[in-house]
Amino acid sequence: MKLSIVIPTIGRTAALRRCLSSLVFQADPGFNFEIIVVSNPGQQAVAEVVEEFSLSGTLIRYLALEQSGANRARNLGASVATGRYLLFLDDDTELAGQDFLLNLTEFIEGPRAEVAWGGYYLSPSAADFSSRAYNCAANLWLMKSCKAPRRRPVMVGGCTLVDRQVFTQVGGFDLKQMGAAEELALSQRVQAQGHRVVLNRKLSVHHHFQGGWVRALGNAYRHGRAKPSTQDPRLDSIPMRQTFSLVRRSLVLDQTLERGRRFQFLIPSLAAYYVVVLVGATVGRWKLRSEGASAPALGGIRSSSGQ
């Protein structure tokens, strides 16, 4: 088995059905793959969707997890995977084209210096403006990571390809990161072990972001609040001098952003998004300082567990 595809879901059956359809109707990639759907909590409706798609002949499994958290679901799927590589998708993503898996051949065949790859979030043609702006903000964050002084790329949570052995060695996804910055923490731990992480447009997926501006700005706040704990403040914001350059690159990457009469509001919308990220980061740093100040002194004695 070459590839194990892990998809966590919270029961969004319509989105999951779209994601699985894009997998089942792929062009023959020339290698074996399995799909592992992890539902948390377990739901009969999700099990029925998985059973329906298993009739196509694709190897697909259903797992139920009663504990909440996408990272728990991802780690559970990885623990039972048999593939050499793990591809993590979210249930609201869809493969961009029928050659997606075929394009993975160049990443998973033969000896490689890289062990982890990430793509970008593309907006489907029917996406509303808040969805396009959110996906653009996510892409700017990824592009920012490649332009930073240390050039340490970050994988996006809904589309991550990683060597399963390396994923296990670094401890998988961090359970403390609940729905925010999980891809940043994983990317850092992979690179801290001396491995390379690479972003590639061929791994980009269509992201059907749902929830409008309320969810988009809520995610921005949670992401900002989680980032100080990753010890990488360089990604808290994007300097204005880089913004327009990155937006131009994002428009080339995802040309659907220019559609619609509201395109002129993209820059103000991104500015508002990153203001909320900065507010969250400020709260996150304050919380870390407060927790550090309230922690009891150990008197120089180290615990036997090394913690």
Q: Are 165 and 195 in contact (CB under 8 A)?
A: no
How many domains does the chain contain in total?
1
Task: State the average pLDDT for the chain.
Answer: 84
pLDDT tens per residue across span 122-169:
999 888 889 989 999 889 888 887 776 567 888 888 899 999 999 999
Q: Strands of 33-39's sheet, edge to edge?
A: 60-64, 33-39, 3-9, 85-89, 159-163, 114-118, 196-199
306 within some domain:
no
In this model, does residue 262 exceed pLDDT 60?
yes
Strands 33-39, 93-95: pairing kind: unpaired
Question: How much is the pLDDT for 141?
Answer: 83
For residue 268, give both structure tokens.
């103000």
pLDDT of residue 172: 92
**Better pLDDT: 267 or 165:** 165
pLDDT tier at 250, thresholds 50, 70, 90? confident
Beta-bridged to residue 60, according to DSSP, are 35
Q: Establish if 60 belongs to a structural domain.
A: yes
**Per-residue confidence band for 302, with pLDDT thresholds at 50, 70 and 90:** very low
pLDDT of residue 281: 81
Task: Round to whole Å and give the CA distance between 95 and 133.
Answer: 20
Structural domain span for residue 122: 3-210
- C-alpha torsion angle, residues 122, 124, 129, 130 (rounded to 10): -60
Q: How confident is the model at residue 306 (pLDDT cuts 50, 70, 90)?
A: very low
Whether 116 shows a pLDDT value over 50: the answer reads yes
Tell me how many degrees the CA angle 193-198-199 measures, rounded to the nearest 5.
Answer: 145
Q: What is the pLDDT of residue 237?
A: 53
Is 269 domain-assigned? no
Output the CA torsion 49→54→56→59 (10° steps).
140
Dist CA 36 CA 246 (whole Å): 35
DSSP 156: B
Domain assignment present for 186:
yes
Positive/negative CA dihedral, 171, 232, 142, 67: positive
Residue 307 is predicted with a pLDDT of: 29
pLDDT, one tens digit per residue, over 47-86 is 999 999 998 888 999 999 988 888 899 999 999 999 999 9
pLDDT digits (tens, 9 = 90+) for 12-52: 999 999 999 999 999 989 899 999 999 988 899 999 999 99
Strand partners, 198: 117
247 domain-assigned:
no
Q: In degrees, to the nearest 5, what angle opens at C-alpha 142 toward C-alphas 139 and 147?
A: 120
Residues 247-273, mean pLDDT to the nearest whole number: 81
Q: Angle 212-226/129-147 helices, nearest 10 degrees?
A: 20
Could you tell me which of 132, 148, 120, 135 has the C-alpha nearest to residue 237? 148
Name the DSSP class of 161.
E
Task: Categorize the per-residue pLDDT at 260 as very low, low, confident or very high, splitting at 50, 70 and 90.
Answer: low
**CA pair distance 59, 45, nearest whole angstrom:** 19
Give 202-216 pLDDT, tens digit per residue: 999 999 998 899 999
pLDDT for res 179? 56
Give yes or no for a contact between 181 and 227, defined as CB atoms under 8 angstroms apart: yes
Give pLDDT tens digits for 170-194: 999 888 766 556 777 888 899 999 9
- Give domain status of residue 246, yes or no: no
Query: Peptide bond before 149: cis, by omega within 30 degrees of 0?
Result: no
pLDDT at 297: 44
Domain assignment of residue 124, yes or no: yes
Q: The CATH number of the domain where 183 resides is what?
A: 3.90.550.10
pLDDT digits (tens, 9 = 90+) for 277-287: 888 888 888 88
Q: Strand, helix or coil at 99?
A: coil
Taking the C-alpha atoms of residue 134 and residue 147, their distance in angstroms, rounded to an integer, is 20
State phi, psi for 87 to the nearest 5 degrees: -115, 115
Looking at the domain assignment, is residue 184 inside a domain? yes
Structure-token match 């332009």, residue found: 147
